[in-house]
Amino acid sequence: MNEFIQKMQLSDDILSIINNSKSIIVPKDRNHLLELALQGEKDGVKEVGYEVPNKGYVAEATVTNCKNGAVVNYLETYMRRRDPNCLLVADKKETDKERYEDRFGEKFDSVRQETIEWFKGQDLIIMPYMAGDDTLGFPGILVAPINAGFFAAGLADLQGFIPANEIPDNFKPTSAIYLAPPFRHTHYDGKQVVVHNRLEGMHEVFSFNLYPGPSAKKGIYGVLLNMGELEGWTTVHASTVRVTTPYDNTVTIMHEGASGGGKSEMLEEVHRQTDGRILYGTNTVTNEPIYLELKDTCELAPVTDDMGLCHPALQKDNTKLVVKDAEAGWFLRFDHIKEYGTSPHHEKLCTHPPEPLIFMNMQAAPGSTCLIWEHIMDAPGKPCPNPRVIMPRNFVPGVVKEEVEVNVRSFGVRVPPCTKEQPTYGIIGALHVLPPALAWLWRMVAPRGHGNPSIVDTEGMTSEGVGSYWPFATGKMVDQANLLLEQIVNTPDTKFVLVPNQHIGAYKVGFHPQWIAREFMARRGSAEFRDEQLNEARCGLLGYSLNKLKVDGIDIPKGLLQTNLQLEVGEEGYDKGAKILTDFFKKELEKFLTPDLNPLGRQIIECCMNDGSLEDYVKLIPMN
């Protein structure tokens, strides 16, 4: 047996796979993984495919050898984004998620055994990894066919892997990813399916497709959420950035939200025009632009990109939330980078990386440099909305490695335009201050919102639910709701704000509201305001709107702070939009009203159901 395998305490199933495989490779280092990703290339391109019973050979993806990395492109456009309905639970433990048996009418046991048997006789990669932080995380193991080397390399960059000669004695995995792509065709009609099987001491993730989003990324997130659920803590769906002003003040902002809610963008510099101005927004009715001139912007030190570990060992007795990155690398989406010069920081980092990167859904020619603004086409003239780069966090300049105290928790919402003729929930102003009770409600509902680029298309507004990480969780919704509420109550000195992206009323704004809000809050030193600076929002769910937002002497127009003041929206359009939003919240919150809900949580939800006032919410959890 392989000397490295002998150091690990593996399950009988994995040992059986290894003992009956054609060959196994335990990766030596990152370069070895990149070699495996491109192993078998012809003229700079490797095709990844599998023999499928009754279908013959099925090509799944190509991997192109570029100067700055390996570029993966899936042949089916459906495989270029995560299917939000792919997660299924196979075990008998408590869950609110769809069970495998309910969807397919049979238990998973037989397919699980088929999968184990499929691995036997294959050439395999066996790769140990860590889910979560190096010291507070959980050991895991990947079992994958060797021609899926790019998947293993991506997982290694995302989660952190253990090189063969560094595997500790008695390494015992508590999670496992089994990658078996042909089963997508033989069992699941070509659909993405990821099955979670929570055994005692082992959380199995069966990935029946090659796109790493639902498994190597969100599947491991599900593992961490399950571990936290068992121990009484959670991993938040958030980016975190330490912001230092030109005057050397420092504020740490954690930005949460559903997929597409601006988490990665919160770590970016504000985007500028070629003349240096900032195009804050453009009126979709009149085409009138609003420009800002901001000479000095803050320095950004990223902490987390998507997953924040909120472990009790970090929190201790702190009255502010303490967070640490739960990932070794970041799954960066660059749909908004459409031309050179949009984000110089990322363009430089991806064009001239310290080591080759894994790119996805981008145009590539063998031997060329992959450019992050050249996205693969889903159809003629229609670029893929989900171009990705897997970026090891230690490649990112200025990254913060230790845990941080969070001053402000912001929540991002992707919203459509709103006018009186076509009212929508796009009534959120540039920056709202939320009392803690309302902040909790937003995390319960977590609207997925308008034009989401990260997942397969869904119609209208949908809820991502419970901290916006519910699509990746495997347990009970109410348990996660209680954990988040306890977290908010126990960290009263962390403040809450709400920020839209894409639109504010009739204005197309992209991600500028959160970038300018970040500059504004950093210069203030917090999200604390005097009473006269705040105005009770016309929609009760939006907390307080600002009466004034000024950055470096530049005022944001008041119609962007209170959208009912926009001529294109007015009070009539605003109120119709507020009803859409309120009705949606009531519908989504009803499912939490179970006997297991924290009594305080029940009071907060009932306050919403009864159209409670802002004062009612503040009484339930006072604002420090």
Position 50 in a domain: no
User: Would you say residue 1 has pLDDT above 70?
Assistant: no
Among 195, 210, 231, the domain boundary falls at: 231
Q: Do 590 and 472 lie in a common domain?
A: yes
Amino acid at 486: E
Average pLDDT estimate for 557-584:
97
320-353 pLDDT, tens digit each: 999 999 999 999 989 889 999 888 889 999 999 9
- For 353, other C-beta atoms within 10 Å of its C-beta total 16
253-280 pLDDT, tens digit each: 999 998 889 998 999 999 999 899 999 9
Position 387 in a domain: no
User: Would you say residue 27 has pLDDT above 90?
Assistant: yes
User: Would you say residue 565 has pLDDT above 70?
Assistant: yes
Average pLDDT estimate for 383-412:
96
Position 444 in a domain: yes
Residue of 500, 529, 503 lying closest to 515 (CA atoms): 500
Q: Do 203 and 244 lie in a common domain?
A: no
Among 196, 231, 266, the domain boundary falls at: 231
pLDDT, averaged across the chain: 94
* Structure confidence at residue 399 (pLDDT): 96
Which of the four pLDDT bands, split at 50, 70 and 90, describes residue 69?
very high
User: Would you say residue 135 has pLDDT above 90?
Assistant: no
Q: Do 227 and 252 lie in a common domain?
A: no
User: Would you say residue 108 has pLDDT above 80?
Assistant: yes
Among 202, 231, 260, the domain boundary falls at: 231
CATH number at residue 225: 3.40.449.10
Q: Do 282 and 180 lie in a common domain?
A: no
Position 383 in a domain: no
Residues 373-405 as b/e (b if ≥16 CB within 10 A, e otherwise) read: bbbbebeeeebbbbbbbbbbbebbeebbeebbb
* Structure confidence at residue 450 (pLDDT): 66
Q: Do 260 and 140 lie in a common domain?
A: no
* Structure confidence at residue 453 (pLDDT): 57
* Structure confidence at residue 452 (pLDDT): 57
More confident of the two residues 543 and 135: 543
Residue of 561, 446, 459 lying closest to 504 (CA atoms): 561
| Sequence-ordered strand ranges (E) for 221-276 | 234-244, 250-257
* Structure confidence at residue 163 (pLDDT): 95
What percentage of the chain carries pLDDT values higher than 90? Answer: 87
Residue of 226, 225, 189 lying closest to 86 (CA atoms): 189
Q: Measured between alpha carbons, how far is 336 from 343 in angstroms, rounded to an integer?
A: 9
Average pLDDT estimate for 119-136:
93
* Structure confidence at residue 459 (pLDDT): 52
Give the angle subtended at the CA of 306 by the CAs of 411 and 172, to the nearest 5°: 140
Rounded to two decimals, what is the model's pTM? Answer: 0.93
User: Would you say residue 38 has pLDDT above 60?
Assistant: yes
Burial class (CB in 10 A: 0-12, 13-18, 19+), 4: buried
Position 394 in a domain: no
Q: Do 258 and 201 lie in a common domain?
A: no
Position 121 in a domain: yes
Q: Measured between alpha carbons, how far is 327 from 240 in angstroms, rounded to an integer?
A: 12
Domain hosting 36: range is 5-42+82-231
* Total count of domains within the chain: 2
Q: Measured between alpha carbons, how far is 204 from 29 in angstroms, rounded to an integer?
A: 25
- For 44, other C-beta atoms within 10 Å of its C-beta total 15
* Structure confidence at residue 451 (pLDDT): 63
Q: Measured between alpha carbons, how far is 491 from 543 in angstroms, rounded to an integer?
A: 19
* Structure confidence at residue 110 (pLDDT): 97
Q: Do 469 and 539 lie in a common domain?
A: yes
Position 327 in a domain: no
* Structure confidence at residue 35 (pLDDT): 97
CATH number at residue 587: 3.90.228.20
587-605 pLDDT, tens digit each: 999 999 999 999 999 999 9
Q: Do 511 and 544 lie in a common domain?
A: yes
User: Would you say residue 310 has pLDDT above 90?
Assistant: yes
Average pLDDT estimate for 140-154:
98
Q: Do 254 and 115 lie in a common domain?
A: no
**CA dihedral of 354, 358, 360, 366, whole degrees rounded to 10:** 80
User: Would you say residue 155 has pLDDT above 70?
Assistant: yes
Q: Do 273 and 126 lie in a common domain?
A: no
Average pLDDT estimate for 164-182:
95
Q: Do 158 and 280 lie in a common domain?
A: no
Position 361 in a domain: no
Q: Measured between alpha carbons, how far is 25 from 431 in angstroms, rounded to an integer?
A: 52
User: Would you say residue 219 has pLDDT above 90?
Assistant: yes
Q: Do 207 and 288 lie in a common domain?
A: no
User: Would you say residue 456 has pLDDT above 80?
Assistant: no
User: Would you say residue 414 has pLDDT above 70?
Assistant: yes
